[in-house]
């Protein structure tokens, strides 16, 4: 018994990362950032507006939150649509009540098929980013580079046309990528993306078409991750995001501006028994001294201007 | 394959020779931060798939990178605040990838022990020579970068062979004599040190490294809430502290800079550390120091006691 000797080759065992997408650095060693008007903690509330197709292919895996039952899985299809019909309107009220500036990560297919919701979001003037074509359009190496480029181009062209916004931000379905995704995003006019959850602050990411900014949209305090994945109570979610806000706010006193990123789903926290928990968290967080509610693109641009 | 690895004999947790830790401490308390490097594109291993989705498998890879970029310094400063030196379970390739982290830990006189080269290279399927070579590489790397003679082992990703503990102890002796390869963190059968049977008959000990207190087990496997984790740590300590009055116990918190250091988890962890270190009779120490103290003072008595309790049928 033995493994092939190549198992003991370590081709990337040298300084920095085992790929060339970005430079290795510790957050604590980087230049400190100052947010506008002396603010300390940027609040980035990111709201995925999602379409989960009933005829899900599930390649290369079933998207988290997607269909799990034999076709037709009406249960999950309709429960996800609940978010776009009902939950989102509870969200909008809460955002306006607490002065939150939401960034909507929208599946292009949802924008194409839900003109009322699209119009409502566009009319508000909040930032819209692209969340891929739909939740079953997962970016992975099996697509092939040309097909993936077509998918990205279609997603962006259509969303730009429908929203009238020059879409600069991207969030891949399931935060999944192929090896080419960042190169193709940059080639299609994207400036920042949020798939790599390896930092608490933005950083520059190399592509074959110039740099992207990687924006830190942590998964760890997502409603879906905490409440559905970890099976924690809604109150525990509130406790965790408030603890995170306190910690980051305090760290900002000595280490420069920080970002609290909350990725929250209308089909989950928009339920009648959960919306008050979101409101409770927003009330606490927006009353912390030095909080700066901002769009993702705004945070990114401000950060870039200081680099 | 064996029915039982044969590393330890049955040794009841009553009527053992009394252990007295330095300065009358009841509990030897140590924190073992795992500082790991997971590869984006590791080679395939027939018995274990590194990532759950096709590469690039970003969720797992990027969270672990977060730990090194962001989480490490937070945990390090917190441990320092409470006078705790970490005993690092190290993916030794990290010495090459991220030497800044190694330097910061060296400055604080932390212990480094081997956790293999990468946490995405499994022991499964290795020949004895291959595993010996991997272990030797990891121990030599620690020595080269830190000057420390690696005392402890936790197999990479807890992947073992039937030879793992023997090989680690033997390579330790070859490289560093009695100072190297003296304890393992791979066994979870006790709250006190245990002499381990090895083919070389080397004096070698298992030091409790609690899987139950491990943040990854708590957060990823058991999926518990941060404050409940903090509460479990306190309750684990309370009982070991009380029992330590009869005979010294060991409490270990194994951590990962990509789990415990998240902003939503730091508060609960800090409260637990504050609680533990607020007690008088706690020996805040490292894995190596516990192993050496036990080997110097209690190993022989323990072996004799264990032997006396092996009744023949």
Question: DSSP string spanning B10-32?
Answer: ---SSSPPPP--GGG-SEEEEEE
Cα B101 from Cα A239, distance rounded (Å): 31
DSSP H or E run through A48: strand A41-49
Asked if residue B6 belongs to a domain, the reply is no
Asked if residue B229 belongs to a domain, the reply is yes
B290 Cα to chain A: minimum distance (Å):
32
Cα B196 from Cα B194, distance rounded (Å): 6
Kindly determine whether residue A2 and residue B101, on different chains, have CB atoms separated by under 8 Å: no
Kindly determine whether residue B264 and residue A6, on different chains, have CB atoms separated by under 8 Å: no
Q: Sort out which chain B residues have CB atoms less than 8 A from A142's CB and list them.
A: 54
Q: Note the pLDDT of residue B276.
A: 98
Asked if residue B101 belongs to a domain, the reply is yes
* B56 Cβ under 8 Å from any chain A Cβ: yes
- Cα B77–Cα B81–Cα B82 angle in degrees, nearest 5: 125
Chain B CA closest to residue A21:
B40
Domain that holds residue B190: 24-40+54-308
- Cα B76–Cα B78–Cα B80 angle in degrees, nearest 5: 70
Instruction: Return per-residue pLDDT of chain A as tens, 307 residues.
Output: 899 999 999 999 999 999 999 999 999 999 999 999 999 999 999 999 999 999 999 999 999 999 999 999 999 999 999 999 999 999 999 999 999 999 999 999 999 999 999 999 999 999 999 999 999 999 999 999 999 999 999 999 999 999 999 999 999 999 999 999 999 999 999 999 999 999 999 999 999 999 999 999 999 999 999 999 999 999 999 999 999 999 999 999 999 999 999 999 999 999 999 999 999 999 999 999 999 999 999 999 999 999 9
Mark the ranges of chain B whose per-residue pLDDT is less than 70.
312-313
Both tokens assigned to A41 = 């903690």
User: What distance lies between CA A85 and its chain's CA centroid?
Assistant: 21
Q: Most A CBs within 10 Å: which of B263, B266, B269, B272, as the mutation test of the A interface?
A: B263
Cα B126 from Cα B75, distance rounded (Å): 34
Q: Do the Cβ atoms of B157 and B120 come closer than 8 Å?
A: yes
* B216 Cβ under 8 Å from any chain A Cβ: no
Kindly determine whether residue B266 and residue A141, on different chains, have CB atoms separated by under 8 Å: no
Asked if residue B14 belongs to a domain, the reply is no
Chain B CA closest to residue A195:
B58
Chain A CA closest to residue B97:
A15
Q: Note the pLDDT of residue B65.
A: 98
Helices A234-255, A275-286: crossing angle, 10 deg rounding: 20
Tell me, what DSSP letter sits at residue A85?
A: I
Q: Sort out which chain B residues have CB atoms less than 8 A from A200's CB and list them.
A: 66, 70, 263
Kindly determine whether residue B227 and residue A196, on different chains, have CB atoms separated by under 8 Å: no
CB < 8 Å from A in window 142-181 of B? none
Closest CA to B176 of B206, B146, B156: B146
Three-state DSSP class for residue A210 = strand
Radius of gyration (C-alpha) of chain A in whole angstroms = 20
Asked if residue B154 belongs to a domain, the reply is yes
Cα A52 from Cα A59, distance rounded (Å): 13
Asked if residue B17 belongs to a domain, the reply is no
Chain B CA closest to residue A26:
B69
Q: Sort out which chain A residues have CB atoms less than 8 A from B117's CB and list them.
A: 10, 13
Task: Kindly report, residue by residue over B193-207, the tens digit of the pLDDT.
Answer: 999 999 999 999 999
Nearest Cβ partner for B59 among A3, A140, A219: A219
Asked if residue B164 belongs to a domain, the reply is yes
Structural class in CATH, domain A32-304:
alpha beta
Chain B CA closest to residue A180:
B56
Q: Sort out which chain B residues have CB atoms less than 8 A from A30's CB and list them.
A: none
Total domains present in chain B: 1
Asked if residue B256 belongs to a domain, the reply is yes
The CATH number of residue B237's host domain is: 3.20.20.370
- A263, β-bridge pairs: A46
CB < 8 Å from A in window 264-293 of B? 264-268
Cis peptide before A72 (omega within 30 of 0): yes
Nearest Cβ partner for B130 among A2, A29, A218: A2
Q: Sort out which chain B residues have CB atoms less than 8 A from A251's CB and list them.
A: 263
Tell me, what DSSP letter sits at residue A226?
A: I
Closest CA to A251 of A221, A288, A281: A288
Kindly determine whether residue B73 and residue A219, on different chains, have CB atoms separated by under 8 Å: no
Q: Sort out which chain A residues have CB atoms less than 8 A from B265's CB and list them.
A: 240, 243
Q: Sort out which chain A residues have CB atoms less than 8 A from B130's CB and list them.
A: 2-3, 7-8
């Amino acid at each position: 018994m033995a493994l092939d000797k190549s198992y003991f080759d370590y081709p990337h065992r040298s300084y920095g990362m085992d790929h060339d997408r970005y430079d290795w650095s510790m957050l604590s060693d980087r230049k400190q950032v100052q947010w506008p008007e002396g603010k300390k903690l940027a609040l980035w509330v990111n709201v995925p507006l999602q379409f989960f197709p009933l005829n899900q292919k599930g390649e290369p895996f079933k998207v988290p939150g997607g269909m799990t039952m034999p076709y037709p899985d009406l249960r999950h299809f309709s429960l996800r649509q609940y978010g776009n019909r009902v939950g989102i309107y509870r969200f909008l009220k809460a955002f306006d009540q607490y002065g939150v500036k939401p960034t909507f990560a929208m599946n292009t297919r949802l924008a194409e098929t839900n003109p009322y919701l699209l119009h409502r979001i566009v009319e508000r003037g909040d930032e819209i980013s692209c969340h891929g074509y739909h939740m079953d359009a997962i970016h992975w190496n099996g697509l092939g580079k040309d097909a993936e480029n077509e998918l990205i181009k279609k997603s962006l062209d259509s969303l730009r046309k429908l929203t009238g916004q020059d879409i600069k931000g991207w969030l891949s379905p399931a935060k999944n990528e192929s090896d080419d995704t960042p190169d193709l995003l940059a080639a299609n006019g994207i400036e920042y993306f949020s798939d790599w959850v390896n930092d608490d602050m933005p950083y520059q990411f190399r592509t074959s078409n110039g740099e992207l900014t990687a924006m830190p949209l942590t998964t760890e305090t997502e409603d879906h991750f905490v409440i559905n994945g970890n099976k924690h109570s809604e109150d525990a979610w509130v406790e965790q995001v408030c603890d995170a806000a306190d910690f980051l706010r305090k760290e900002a006193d000595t280490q420069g501006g920080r970002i609290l990123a909350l990725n929250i789903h209308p089909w989950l926290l928009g339920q009648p028994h959960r919306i008050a928990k979101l409101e409770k968290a927003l009330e606490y967080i927006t009353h912390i001294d030095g909080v700066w509610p901002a769009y993702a693109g705004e945070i990114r641009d401000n950060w870039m201007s200081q680099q | 394959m064996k029915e039982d690895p044969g590393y330890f004999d049955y040794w009841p947790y009553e009527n053992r020779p009394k252990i007295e830790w330095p300065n009358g401490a009841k509990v030897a308390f140590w924190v073992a931060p795992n500082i790991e490097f997971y590869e984006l594109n590791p080679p395939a291993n027939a018995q274990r798939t590194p990532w759950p989705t096709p590469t690039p498998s970003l969720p797992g890879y990027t969270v672990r990178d977060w730990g090194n970029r962001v989480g490490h310094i937070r945990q390090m400063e917190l441990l320092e605040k409470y006078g705790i030196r970490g005993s690092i379970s190290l993916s030794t390739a990290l010495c090459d990838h991220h030497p800044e982290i190694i330097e910061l830990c060296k400055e604080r006189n932390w212990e480094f022990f081997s956790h293999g080269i990468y946490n995405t290279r499994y022991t499964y399927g290795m020949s004895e020579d291959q595993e010996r070579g991997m272990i030797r590489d990891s121990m030599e790397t620690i020595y080269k970068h830190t000057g420390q003679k690696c005392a402890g082992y936790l197999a990479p990703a807890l992947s073992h062979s039937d030879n793992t503990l023997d090989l680690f102890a033997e390579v330790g002796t070859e490289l560093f004599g009695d100072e190297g390869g003296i304890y393992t963190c791979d066994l979870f059968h006790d709250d006190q040190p245990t002499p381990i049977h090895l083919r070389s008959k080397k004096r070698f000990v298992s030091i409790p490294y609690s899987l139950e207190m491990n943040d990854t087990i708590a957060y990823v496997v058991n999926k518990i809430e941060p404050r409940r984790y903090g509460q479990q740590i306190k309750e684990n300590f309370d009982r070991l502290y009380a029992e330590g009055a009869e005979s010294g116990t060991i409490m270990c918190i194994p951590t990962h800079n990509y789990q415990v250091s998240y902003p939503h988890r730091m508060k609960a962890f800090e409260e637990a550390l504050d609680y533990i270190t607020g007690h008088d009779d706690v020996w805040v120490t490292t894995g190596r120091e516990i192993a050496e103290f036990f080997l110097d003072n209690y190993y022989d008595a323990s072996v004799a006691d264990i032997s006396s309790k092996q009744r023949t049928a």
